[in-house]
Amino acid sequence: NQLIAEQSRTDELADAFDLQEELDNRDRGIQFEMHLVLIPPGRNRGAIISQYYNKTLRLRRRRQSKPQVRDFSRSSRPSIRGYGLQADTTDSEDREDRKQEQLVNNLQKMSVADRERMLREMPLSKPCFMFRVVYLQALKQRLYIRLTFIPSLQLWKVSLKKVSGRFGSGVLSYFLFLRILLFFNIFLFLVMSAFLVVPQALYPPEPPANRSSFSGLELLTGAGYFSDSLMYYGYYHNDTLKMSCKNSTQEECEAKSPSYNMPLAYFFTIGMAFFITCIILVYSMSKSFGQSFKIDKSRSALAIKTFCSWDFRVTKKSSVKLMSENISTQLKVLTNTPLKPLSQKLKRFALQFLSWIVCITVTIGCVVGIYYFSEYRHGQRCSLVGEVSLLDLPVLVSVINLLLSFLFALCLEEYTSPSVRTYVALGRNLVLKVSVLGVLCYHWLGHICWETFVGQELYRFLIVDFIFTLLDTLFGELIWRLLYDKIFKKKRKPEFNIAKNVLDLIYGQSLAWLGVLFTPLLPAVQILKLFLLFYIKMSSVMMNCQAPRKPYRVTQMTTIFITLLCFPSFLGASVCVTYTMWSIKPSESCGPFRGLDTMFQAGKRWMHQMEDQNPKLSLLTKAHLYLVENPFFLFVGAGIFLIGIYFHSQVIDGQRQIIALLQKHIKNVGHLPVCMHSSLFGLIGAPDVPFILMNLVDLLLFLRRERIKSS
């Protein structure tokens, strides 16, 4: 205040550091501003600085009730000292107005040349505005931490830090993905056990006469002792469960004992579990997509590579050395990209086309083979030798997956860009797995008590997939390292193939989601599997692998993996489950839905029962009839959704164009040695408009005026 009064009296420039000290005592947030603002020698620089301060002080006080304690300057933590100091509150409004008047007076007293120089050197950015944004965002972040995820984020923290210290963010993202899947499965398991498993366990039905005894093979095949247990759909009762009455009469018993409608519970639990999982997945996918989406197509690949490629998490010396080599290779590649002649491009394109044809043909061949093999086994079901032969289909599928993924990896040589390679490899593996699963789903619907059979098959698939992952880890990583060490005598170790491993995880999770309807305890199996997998993979990576040599864009790849988890994996599973519940007749002899036409009828029957008991609920049943069962409503809903997406994409296009335009104008302004007094006076009068936008808008107006004048 004193300083500004001085200025208006003497028209002398206050030293920026004096001003800084004064502002120091009032509000620390402006300090960084001082360092960043290019402070040219010249008159009334302090006036501009004070004006910045006042404007932001007003903005800040309007939005926040807490005193500003964050500090961005080099003296980063005297904020404890500053904590007791409050921002000026009561009579500062009057002071503000007086200050404004003084400022305006100051500026009007300046000579034209001085004003020009000062405005030219005024920075266009606005760190103070950003300050407020940052503080609000910081509040949000802290709230997020303290909400629900504190215990879950602490799991395996030390191991993850070790992995990231040695291998960087890429390999870390695999383990983080594993942890996310674990939490999904824990959630599913809790829901299932609370609503399905525990109630059924309390009222066990009589065991059938020919029940086989427990032998160790059940853990692999899921049949035998497990067939008539809580694990599978067939065990669950198809009517309301009631406590058995021994002491009281029949009527009293029925009146008093709690009842549990098992078919309804089954139907609604599965529906709710899938619905909540869908919401969580879509939310995390959109969040991660928002982080990695770039509105402006990247023109500054080299600059980004220079400033953002160093992974600060890596702490091991050899990994750091590798990373330096990586970065220098990438920089060299980016600076020397020679133009390819047309003939070479055509040749490359032809090779890519050929490799795609080969891969798709092989995929179709294998899928057809699996289909015929499963038909043949179905025909032979009566004369099965032993239970171990139940495993042959899962083993065949896993072997095909493994061999074909090697084949696809070999066909990748004609793609030069590493990111394109990863996408192509992912795409091919995805096509294979989706088609195999699709064929199997189609085939499984022809058995007696087919639900239990399907549940058993999926259990077997899950177990065999786990065994094959272990074998792959063993041979892919351990044996290769021993080979390199002893036979080839090279210093290199095998690399951890992140994309392939994540795809395996997604495949396992799709199996789990498919099987949840038929095997309520499958999430428990998946939890065990993921737990074991974490420790095995962690030790294997630490012992056998080296940090990746190729660049790996963590954020983009994480977004892709979550998208893959949501779209083919979860969507496919939920479509299958929905189709099963909606249209397929449940088997007559087992399960909670025997006797009904579709599983969905359990819900409908309950609605009718409720309506009979309580006629006032007819509105609810009518709503159910017209909204849920009528496909027209779904069509309209989907149509509205698509229109919304279209509008949003148009908005993004428009924003892209605006950004390009503004960037051009900024470039032009940088070369103009002309004054811009209109912008300064525009600022003083409009406190609510963000500073930078105002600047740019004024810029545009000014330039247009200049162009008109010059033309």
Partner 1 sequence: MGNKQTIFTDEQLDAYQDCTFFTRKEILRLHGRYHELAPHLVPMDYTNEPDCKLPLALIVDMPELKENPFRNRIVESFSEDGMGNLSFNEFVDMFSVLSETAPRELKAIYAFKIYDFNVDNYLCKEDLEKTLNRLTKEELTPEEVDLVCEKTIDEADLDGDNKLSYSDFENMISRAPDFLSTFHIRI
Q: Is 93 in the site for partner 1 (CB under 8 A)?
A: no
CB of 439 to partner 1, least distance (A): 37
Closest to partner 1 by CB, 130 or 253: 130
Applying the rule CB under 8 A, the residues between 459 and 488 that interact with partner 1 are none
CB nearer to partner 1: pick between 311 and 477: 311
- Per CB under 8 A, the list member of 58, 377, 553, 677 interacting with partner 1 is 553
For residue 340, the minimal CB distance to partner 1 (Å) is 20
One residue of 320, 470, 675, 684 binding partner 1 per CB under 8 A = 320
* Region from 307-315, 424-432, 588-596, 616-624 binding partner 1, contact rule CB under 8 A: 307-315
Scan residues 510-539 and list those touching partner 1 (CB under 8 A): none
* From 111, 335, 337, 383, residue interacting with partner 1 (rule: CB under 8 A): 335
Comparing CB distances to partner 1, the nearer of 311 and 465 is 311
CA nearest neighbour of 155 among 171, 174, 176, 172: 176
Cα(698)–Cα(680) distance, integer angstroms: 9
Percentages (nearest 5) of helix, strand, coil residues in the chain: 75, 0, 25
Among 48, 223, 400, 669, binds partner 1 (CB under 8 A): 669
Find the binding residues for partner 1 in span 46-75 (CB under 8 A).
66, 69-72, 74-75
Q: How far is the CB of 17 from partner 1 (least distance, A)?
A: 14
Applying the rule CB under 8 A, the residues between 276 and 305 that interact with partner 1 are: 291-294, 296, 298-304
Q: Going by C-beta distance under 8 Å and a sequence separation of 6 or more, which residues neighbour residue 495?
A: 545, 546, 547, 548, 549
Closer CB to partner 1, 29 or 603, in the complex? 29
The residue within the footprint of partner 1, chosen from 325, 375, 653, 706 (CB under 8 A), is: 325
Q: In sequence order, which residues have a C-beta less than 8 Å from that of residue 584 and are 6 or more positions away?
A: 445, 598, 599
Stretch of 130-138, 419-427, 505-513, 627-635 lying at the interface with partner 1 (CB under 8 A): 130-138
Using the rule CB under 8 A, which residue among 212, 240, 380, 555 binds partner 1?
A: 555
146 to 185: interface string for partner 1, x by CB under 8 A: x--------------x--x----x----------------
- What span, in angstroms and rounded, lies between the C-alpha atoms of 325 and 305? 13
Residue 614 in the binding site for partner 1 (CB under 8 A): no
- Residue 694's alpha-carbon distances to 36, 124, 255, 313, 698, in angstroms, are 20, 10, 73, 39, 6
Tell me if 662 sits within 8 A of 696, measured CB to CB: yes
Q: Which stretch binds partner 1 (CB under 8 A): 238-246, 249-257, 542-550, 668-676?
A: 668-676
* C-beta of 125 vs 212, nearer to partner 1: 125
Residue 658 interacts with partner 1 (CB under 8 A)? no
**For residue 261, which phi and psi values (nearest 5 degrees)?**
-80, 100
**Does residue 655 interact with partner 1 by CB under 8 A?**
no
List the end-to-end C-alpha distance of the chain, in Å, as a whole number: 46
CA distance 425 to 414: 12
673 near partner 1, rule: CB under 8 A = no
- CA-wise closest residue to 371 among 393, 339, 389: 393
Vertex 222: Cα angle to 369 and 473 (nearest 5): 65
Judge whether 13 and 43 are in contact, CB under 8 Å.
yes
Q: Can you tell me the distance from the alpha carbon of 371 to that of 307, in angstroms, rounded to the nearest whole number?
A: 52
DSSP code string of 176-190: HHHHHHHHHHHHHHH
State which amino acid sits at residue 55. Answer: K
Of 149, 310, 626, 635, the residue at the interface with partner 1 (CB under 8 A) is: 310
Residue selected from 76, 240, 248, 583 as contacting partner 1 according to rule CB under 8 A: 76
549 binds partner 1 (CB under 8 A): no
Say if CB 521 and CB 141 are below 8 A apart.
Answer: no
